[in-house]
Structure 1
Amino acid sequence: MKRQMELLLIILLPILGLVFLGGKIMTLTKSPEQKITTSSSKKVVQKPDEDIKKEQLDYLKEHEQKVIDLVKAQNSKVESVQIDWDQTQWGDGGLTTPEYYMSVYGGINHIEESSWGVDIPINEDNTLNLDEMYIGSDIRIGGRLFD
């Protein structure tokens, strides 16, 4: 019985340690619900998530040509790029890549069944990192890769 208890502890302790460590890591990472705070000597102002997202979207709309250029660079047959601003999403990469990002989607050459997606990392200060944006979803037409 003592031997069984020792084996059980040998098996359970590393597992419990990993669970504890994983929980600690998750609590240390920034959650998407956090508010950005700006402090002055007199008061602290918090911006709601919706205001931050609106600022990010407005900024991206001012710099949409960078997204268009990235999509066009994927294939020489891309003549025009359409961005569907209504499909914009915000998210995080989860446990393996806990980076926060904004995803924009659209089509090409005015083809209804076309699609693509670009992911744009969000910096810790909630600004967009347009220099490191990347294709998150390849260009497709009707679900098939665009050749």
Structure 2
Amino acid sequence: MKRRKIMMIGVSIAVVLCIAGCTMKQKEDTKQDKTNVSSSIKEDKKAIKQKQLAYLKEHEKEIVDFVKAQNPKVESVQIYWDETQWGVAGNGTPQGGDEMILIFGGFNQNPESSWRVDVVVEDGKINLKMMYLGQSLRIGGRIFE
């Protein structure tokens, strides 16, 4: 009888360890799947940003013309593509605003000049008709007049 109790305890411990091991393995596999999904989402977002940046570069003239139209004294426009940023414009609601691409640059070959153009992205597509000056034309931090 004593032997049978010891054997039952041993079998019970083995079953518990087996179940625990399977549960931990399943959690580990699930964690691995989540990691793979999140890294593929990051890669997709990066690819989308690269395509959007390429599209903007194809339409560089429209951006340049828009900046030049802000002031008749602007003779040349420089775009700093490396400083381009993506984000969401706040509109004061919990849902937030539109997805935006912020383009930065300078003008008249002046290293102290700056401007920012904001472009709205609707359903993943850039809408150049929804382009506006996000930061006034400036030189040395002062508004260029």
TM-score interval (norm. to shorter): 0.5 to 0.7
Deviations 1:113-143 (A, max 9, x none): 000000000011x110001100000000000
Tell me whether 1:139 sits opposite 2:137 in the alignment. yes
- Count of residue pairs brought into register by the alignment: 102
Aligned amino acid, residue 75 of structure 2: E
TM-score, length-scaled by structure 1: 0.66
TM-superposed deviation, 1:94: 2.6
| Aligned pair partner of 1:54 in 45, 50, 53 | 50
Give the C-alpha shift of residue 47 in structure 1. 6.7
SS of structure 2 residue aligned to 1:104: strand
Structure scoring higher RCO (CA < 8 A, sep ≥ 6) equals 1
Q: Give the aligned residue type for 1:64.
A: E
The runs of 5 or more residues in structure 2 that have no matched partner are: 1-37
Q: Distance in 2 between matches of 1:107 and 1:121?
A: 21
Q: CA RMSD in A?
A: 1.7
Measured after TM superposition, the shift of residue 93 of structure 1 is 1.2
1 CA distance for matches of 2:125 and 2:115?
A: 23
Q: Which whole-Å CA distance do the structure 1 matches of 2:112 and 2:43 have between them? A: 38
> Match of 1:23?
none
CA distance in 1, matches of 2:140, 2:91: 32
Matched AA of 2:141: G
Equivalent residue for 1:40?
A: none
- In percent, how many aligned pairs have the same letter? 49
Question: Structure 1, residues 64-117: CA drift from partner, whole Å, max 9, x if none?
Answer: 111101100010000000000011000001352511010100000000000000
Between Structure 1 and Structure 2, whose CA radius of gyration is higher?
A: 2
Higher helix residue share: 2
**Residue of structure 1 equivalent to 2:86:** 90
Where do 1:110-129 residues align within 5 Å? 110-124=109-123, 126-129=124-127
In structure 1, what is the Cα distance between the partners aligned to 2:78 and 2:113?
A: 10
**In the alignment, which residue of structure 1 is the partner of 2:65?**
69
TM-score with structure 2 setting the length: 0.67
**Distance in 2 of aligned mates of 1:135 and 1:79:** 17
Structure 1, gaps ≥5 residues long: 1-34, 36-45
